[in-house]
């Protein structure tokens, strides 16, 4: 098939009016202070949906003071107490799942069904750390030469500053707040300025569940650089956990070095997705669609470079093109919408630029390539085949709904090209050969690998990257250790008779 399919033409599906009204009620229920602040926009319409306080450095430092003071009592509570509070928070999040999903969809743009999926994923971190809180580790061991016994303990790392991106407004917050609270840390969180509302609601529910009011400070601001310059230099801060771009991560690592802070960095990706001739075609197409189109392609583990072996390539591209062409574009609160708006107009312009560059270098367009008319930050689902290796979108994160397919001959070629990047967050392998699956997964220089599936994230998994994709892990038992210091006591053992 060589013809170009059009993505569904015409205006995006509008929001369902009942859902829109319900999301307005959720926003009104936040009781945001009136007065000056910055606007939160609906990316599907460009309309202002809320105004939140634009907090300055003094307010952020006051947040550090209050959290630090409350943190002393919190750190001295029993782990069972913290676990029970987290469990109540989980129950409240589940009780308010519909409201949270409406809010995510409204401020971030993803289709409501996906927002509901994020609520399940995001709340799962709270449940996980409610269960993990009572297992704080520590052990006893003898010094190999005798004469002493070592006792190791895990202690709260201290005040944690958390900085989150806009693409998963709930999950990126809970993935950090829940382990921090479980470990006994006070928290100052700065949500992305594009999507602060979900964090405000989630933290309000945490307080309702028994987290002391003020222990988790939410700093909404349009001055993130001033925030981090001031807060990370404050001696009361002991930890910074960041999710976002590698460029900002580097700045925060530099700043963190001044106070020698513990750091966790979940940074950018450039995920390769490898489809071998022996893959099950339907599984590969479904998995590639999921890995590419989750969140409209705005995911750090999104399939950025799709490498397909020559023997299956025509059938795979045809299958993916059909799926992508059928993606229904619209407001996240619209009926049966598959693809919401991108986060803003800059993101749309970036898709246009990357697409133009790839086409100019010889890529073949199979689907889409258009931005629908009218307001809102929309870009149509797009499939490119035979993308040349020097195209800009091969080297950088696409962060949008362009699927970029390249073809390969041998397994060795595929692995070499997959690893030819400074990033190393996620990779994907599609094959029915078990040996190949493990050989290729072992060879990929990434922190995680989806094998015959496109959505590998889970609260039970130690999520994180290698190379320039980051430091540390989130989720699972390892995610709790990011908020703990290991200490040891050396107990002298005299020989007595």
Backbone angles phi, psi at 400, to 5 degrees: -170, 180
To the query of whether residue 185 is one of the catalytic residues in this protein, the response is no
Q: Least distance from C-beta 124 to ligand NAD, angstroms?
A: 15
Please identify which of the residues 114, 266, 474, 482 carries the catalytic annotation: 266
- The residue sitting closest to ligand NAD, measured at its beta carbon, is 244
State how far the alpha carbon of 151 is from the alpha carbons of 19, 78, 138, 148, 495, in Å: 56, 20, 7, 10, 19
Residue the block writes with tokens 């907090």:
55
Burial of 30 (0-12, 13-18, 19+ CB in 10 A): middle
The pair of three-digit structure tokens given for residue 403, joined into one six-digit string: 């699927």
> How many angstroms separate the CA atoms of 30 and 226, rounded?
26
Q: Least distance from C-beta 339 to ligand NAD, angstroms?
A: 18
Which distant-in-sequence residues (6+ apart) come within 8 Å of 185 by Cβ? 71, 74, 75, 156, 157, 158, 159, 160, 239, 483
Nearer to ligand NAD, 321 or 354 (CB): 354
Q: Least distance from C-beta 228 to ligand NAD, angstroms?
A: 3
Nearer to ligand NAD, 85 or 267 (CB): 267
Q: Least distance from C-beta 162 to ligand NAD, angstroms?
A: 10
Please identify which of the residues 132, 300, 481, 482 carries the catalytic annotation: 300
The pair of three-digit structure tokens given for residue 115, joined into one six-digit string: 């927002």
Nearer to ligand NAD, 219 or 306 (CB): 219
Nearer to ligand NAD, 227 or 323 (CB): 227
Q: Least distance from C-beta 163 to ligand NAD, angstroms?
A: 5
Nearer to ligand NAD, 350 or 382 (CB): 350
Instruction: Please name which of 182, 165, 163 lies closest in space to residue 87, comparing C-alpha atoms.
Output: 182
Residues that bind ligand NAD in the complex, under the rule CB under 6 A: 163-167, 190, 192-193, 224-225, 227-228, 243-245, 248, 251-252, 266-269, 300, 397, 425, 465, 470
Nearer to ligand NAD, 155 or 461 (CB): 461
Q: Least distance from C-beta 459 to ligand NAD, angstroms?
A: 13
Instruction: Please name which of 66, 69, 85 lies closest in space to residue 217, comparing C-alpha atoms.
Output: 66
Cβ proximity of 52 and 37 under 8 Å: yes
> How many angstroms separate the CA atoms of 234 and 255, rounded?
11
Task: Please provide the DSSP assignment of 239-298 as one string.
Answer: EEEEES-HHHHHHHHHHHHHTT-EEEEE----EEEEE-TTS-HHHHHHHHHHHHHGGGG-
Q: Least distance from C-beta 495 to ligand NAD, angstroms?
A: 52
Instruction: Please name which of 196, 194, 163 lies closest in space to residue 180, comparing C-alpha atoms.
Output: 163
Pairing state between β 466-467 and 423-424: antiparallel
Nearer to ligand NAD, 57 or 451 (CB): 57
To the query of whether residue 107 is one of the catalytic residues in this protein, the response is no
Cβ proximity of 338 and 296 under 8 Å: no
Tell me the catalytic residues: 266, 300
């Amino acid at each position: 098939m060589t013809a170009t399919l059009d993505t569904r033409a015409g205006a995006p599906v509008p929001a369902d009016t009942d859902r829109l009204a319900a999301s307005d009620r959720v926003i009104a229920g936040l009781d945001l202070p009136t007065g000056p602040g910055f606007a939160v926009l609906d990316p599907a319409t460009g309309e202002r949906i809320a105004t939140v306080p634009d907090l300055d450095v003094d307010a952020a430092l006051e947040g550090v003071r209050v959290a630090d003071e409350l943190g002393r009592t919190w750190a001295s509570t029993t782990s069972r107490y913290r676990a029970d509070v987290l469990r109540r928070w989980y129950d409240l999040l589940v009780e308010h799942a519909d409201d949270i999903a409406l809010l995510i969809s409204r401020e971030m743009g993803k289709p409501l069904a996906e927002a509901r999926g994020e609520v399940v994923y995001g709340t799962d971190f709270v449940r996980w750390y409610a269960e993990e809180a009572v297992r704080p580790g520590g052990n006893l061991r003898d010094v190999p030469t005798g004469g002493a016994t070592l006792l190791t303990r895990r202690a709260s790392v201290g005040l944690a500053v958390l900085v989150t991106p806009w693409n998963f407004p709930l999950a990126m917050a809970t993935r950090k707040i829940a382990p921090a609270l479980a470990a006994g840390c006070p928290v100052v969180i700065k949500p992305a300025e594009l999507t602060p509302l979900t964090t405000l609601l989630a933290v309000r529910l945490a307080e309702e569940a028994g987290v002391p009011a003020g222990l988790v400070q939410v700093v909404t601001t349009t001055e993130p650089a001033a925030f981090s310059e001031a807060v990370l230099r404050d001696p009361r801060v002991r930890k910074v956990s960041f999710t976002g771009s590698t460029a900002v991560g580097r700045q925060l690592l530099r700043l963190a070095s001044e106070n020698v802070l513990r750091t966790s960095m979940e940074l950018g990706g450039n995920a390769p997705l490898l489809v071998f001739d022996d893959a099950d075609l339907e599984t590969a197409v479904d998995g590639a669609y999921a890995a590419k189109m989750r969140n409209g392609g705005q995911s750090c583990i999104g399939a950025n470079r799709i490498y397909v072996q020559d023997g299956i390539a025509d059938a795979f591209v045809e299958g993916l093109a059909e799926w992508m062409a059928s993606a229904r574009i619209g407001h996240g609160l619209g009926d049966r919408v598959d693809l919401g708006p991108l986060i803003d107009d800059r993101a749309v312009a970036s898709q246009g630029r990357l697409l133009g560059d790839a086409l100019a270098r010889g890529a073949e367009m199979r689907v889409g390539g258009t931005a629908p008319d009218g307001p809102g930050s929309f870009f149509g689902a797009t499939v490119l085949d035979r993308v040349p290796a020097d195209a800009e979108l091969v080297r950088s994160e696409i962060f949008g709904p362009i699927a970029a397919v390249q073809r390969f001959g041998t397994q060795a070629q595929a692995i070499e090209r997959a690893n030819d990047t400074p990033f190393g967050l996620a990779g994907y392998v599609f094959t029915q050969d078990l040996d190949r699956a493990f050989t290729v997964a072992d060879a990929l220089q990434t922190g995680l690998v989806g094998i015959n599936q496109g959505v590998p994230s889970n609260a039970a998994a130690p999520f994180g990257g290698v190379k320039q994709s980051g430091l540390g892990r989130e989720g699972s038992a390892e995610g709790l250790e990011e908020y703990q210091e290991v200490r040891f006591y050396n107990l002298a053992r005299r020989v007595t008779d």
